[in-house]
């Protein structure tokens, strides 16, 4: 299931990138076409064509397919800022089609939770066993001092990893000097 979700993300990214390139070429030929550049525009285009190009899309979480356009929108924005000289981290190239090597998918809505000390629950995938204990995060969530905002599932080699983006309440710190 994890590999299927990662593949769906990459496929949605590729469909969006192919559409952007096609529309940019049409605009260069002098045609008056709209190029989907923002996340809402890319999602609209994906939702318009997903039934035709990806009849299997219902097998995965909606987050898998919306994570692809999200990554593409961020890449296009970084490229635009880079061209205008507004990007702090230096220049970046135009987005490219991704290889199968780096595999990740981000979940931002749905059932994302820490179930117990060694299981997490992800939307559509269900309960997944973890190798490392999740008790520290579970304690904070149960105490109401932490909230999970997103979960990113990635694969390196033969291992799958899940990392959480959390909002954590911390007591105000004291200065260290007298």
The reply to whether 86 and 149 lie within a common domain is no
Q: What is the pLDDT of residues 43-54, one digit of tens each?
A: 999 999 989 998
The dihedral of CA 136, 139, 141, 144: what is its sign?
negative
**Pair (118, 143) in one structural domain:** yes
pLDDT band at 17 (very low <50, low <70, confident <90, very high): very high
Per-residue confidence band for 161, with pLDDT thresholds at 50, 70 and 90: confident
Report the alpha-carbon distance of residue 60 to residue 70 in Å, rounded. Answer: 16
Per-residue pLDDT at 102? 67
Q: Do residues 67 and 113 share a domain? A: no
Q: How confident is the model at residue 101 (pLDDT cuts 50, 70, 90)?
A: low
Considering the entire predicted model, what is its pTM?
0.80
Six-digit token string for 159: 């291992």
Which of residues 49, 68, 101 is at a domain's end? 101
Domain range enclosing 124:
108-168
Pairing mode, if any, of strands 103-107 and 146-156? Answer: antiparallel
Predicted confidence at residue 98, as pLDDT, reads: 83
135-157 pLDDT per residue, tens: 888 898 889 888 889 888 888 88
Does one domain contain both 117 and 67?
no
Tally of domains in the chain? 2
Distances (CA, A) of 8 to 33, 61, 106: 27, 9, 12
């Amino acid at each position: 299931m994890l590999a299927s979700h990662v593949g769906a993300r990459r496929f949605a990214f590729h469909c969006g990138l192919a559409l952007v390139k096609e529309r940019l070429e049409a605009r260069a030929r002098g045609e008056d076409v709209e190029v989907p550049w923002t996340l809402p525009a890319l999602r609209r285009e994906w939702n318009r064509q997903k039934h035709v190009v990806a009849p299997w899309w219902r097998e995965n979480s909606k987050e898998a397919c919306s994570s692809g356009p999200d990554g593409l929108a961020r890449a296009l924005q970084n490229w635009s800022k880079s061209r205008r000289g507004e990007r702090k981290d230096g220049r970046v190239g135009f987005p490219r089609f991704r290889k199968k090597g780096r595999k990740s998918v981000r979940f931002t809505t749905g059932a994302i939770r820490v179930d117990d000390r060694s299981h997490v629950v992800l939307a559509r995938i269900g309960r997944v066993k973890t190798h490392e204990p999740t008790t520290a995060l579970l304690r904070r969530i149960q105490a109401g001092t932490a909230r999970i905002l997103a979960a990113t599932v990635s694969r390196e080699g033969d291992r799958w990893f899940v990392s959480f983006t959390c909002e954590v309440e911390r007591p105000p710190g004291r200065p260290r000097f007298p």
